[in-house]
Amino acid sequence: MDRRMLAQIVLFVFYLQCVGVQTVVGNDQTPGMRTPEVWMAVLPADVLVQQDAQWDFVKKNVDGVKLWTQQIDQEAKDWPFQGKVDAPRALEKIILVLNRHKIPMIIEKGCFPAAKGDPLRDRFCGESGPFDETYSLRAAKSEIERLRRVEALGGTVKFFDVDGPIRHMLRPSSGEGFPTIEKCAEAFVQYMLHVQKAYPNVEFFALTNFPNWGYRGEISYWGNEGWGDYFTALEAIVRLSKQADAPLRGFTVDNPYDYAVGEVQNPEFPYDPKSIDWIARILDVEQYVRKHELEFNLIFNSQRGGNTSAELFCKETVEFIDLYQRRGGRPDRYIIQSWYTHPTRDQIVPESDPNTFTGLVKQVITRVKGVKQQEQEEESLQ
């Protein structure tokens, strides 16, 4: 082999590294340059810690389990555990399982303080009151209490996936809020900084229910401006977080499969949803986030499947992943998440059934991480 050929080979390998061919490296590498992660989140989560629950492969290979704030806060027999278990005891068991298998815990924060609340809302969302300079601190205090609650049970929270930080402040149920997206983004940044003072290692993702927003001047899925233009919110959160050195790790997009392919119909729609390339919008968010050296997560599920059957939920979730990858999408995290009727309590396990929730997660792990059941079994025998 002459020197010129050798030089060309070296340059080609260098090129592959530069354009982002995925390689198995540590989690702290540049986004898009590592093996993706798989997270899971399901209601009801207590099924996972029942004595006969079979999801060993998933426990060994999943990269995070996400719980909702209500699952951290609720008392016995409240909604997230569907009145079938002692909620605090179930949470303690979940933490024990996560610790035993070194699975990171993520909390999805579902709300922010309202102008006028009630004791239950104040507990979940933060003390109600004016939308002023005290707002972010009140929101952060509820998070700090939640972190202490988990800590007291022996757990550690790695990330908060913050659902709708802009919409909750801009258009809360009380009808009052900050006047602009910019002001909401400022409050969100300050909220992250307040939590960071008490828990320096916790980081945040901003989660959006994407179909409800317009994007880059185009309509929302509902044929109107929706909650506003999400690109404006995206740009503001990125810019202000960078300026303040806030602990923002990236963004999570929630956009169920049937919305992504334009198959959720309504006779009152002023247009045909199939006429818009919704996948292209999601890809644009991914590219923008990567451009700013942040991480991109995508929730994969199916609203139609979740309202119909576990089989359809699993089938369309896998179809969504295949479609998004064919279009060039490469999320840092594939989040398999269900808050729907299906899969039901008796369809969470075992993972050996491809039409259970853990069976679906197992399929996703083998697809996107390349981990095979046989490899795991051979490794355990060595």
pLDDT, tens digit (0-9, with 9 covering 90-100), for 13-23: 333 344 333 33
Q: What is the mean pLDDT of the chain?
A: 88
What pLDDT is stored for residue 118 in this prediction?
84
Q: How many CA atoms lie within 13 A of 136 on its CB side?
A: 17
Cα–chain center distance at 160: 9
Q: What percent of the chain has pLDDT over 90?
A: 75
Query: Phi/psi at 178 (nearest 5 deg)?
Result: -70, 150
Greater confidence (9 vs 179) lies with 179
> What's the rounded Cα separation, in Å, for the pair 155 and 104?
9
Instruction: Name the DSSP class of 214.
Output: B
pLDDT computed for residue 18 by the predictor? 41
Q: Lowest mean pLDDT: which of 151-160, 168-177, 238-247, 264-273?
A: 168-177
Rounded to two decimals, what is the model's pTM?
Answer: 0.88
The alpha-carbon radius of gyration of the chain (Å, integer) is: 21
Task: Pick the more confident residue, 340 or 3.
Answer: 340
Using the predicted structure, report yes or no on whether residue 110 has a pLDDT greater than 60. yes
pLDDT top residue among 376 and 152: 152
Give the residue-averaged pLDDT of 366-375: 83
Average the pLDDT over 251-274 and give the result.
96
CB 249 within 8 A of CB 294: yes
Q: Which helix (H) or strand (E) holds 205?
A: strand 203-209
19 burial class (0-12, 13-18, 19+ CB within 10 angstroms)?
exposed
Q: Residue 322 pLDDT more than 80?
A: yes
Q: Tell me whether strands 203-209 and 105-109 are parallel, antiparallel or unpaired.
A: unpaired
Amino acid letter, 102: K
Tell me how crowded residue 215 is: count the other CB atoms within 10 A of its CB: 24
165, 166, 254, 267, 340 from 206: Cα distances, Å = 7, 9, 11, 32, 22
- Listed in sequence order, the DSSP H helices in the chain are 3-19, 56-61, 69-73, 87-100, 119-125, 135-152, 165-170, 181-198, 230-244, 257-260, 278-291, 303-306, 310-326, 357-368, 373-381
Is the predicted pLDDT of residue 149 greater than 50, yes or no?
Answer: yes
* Residue 299 to residue 328: CA distance in whole angstroms: 16
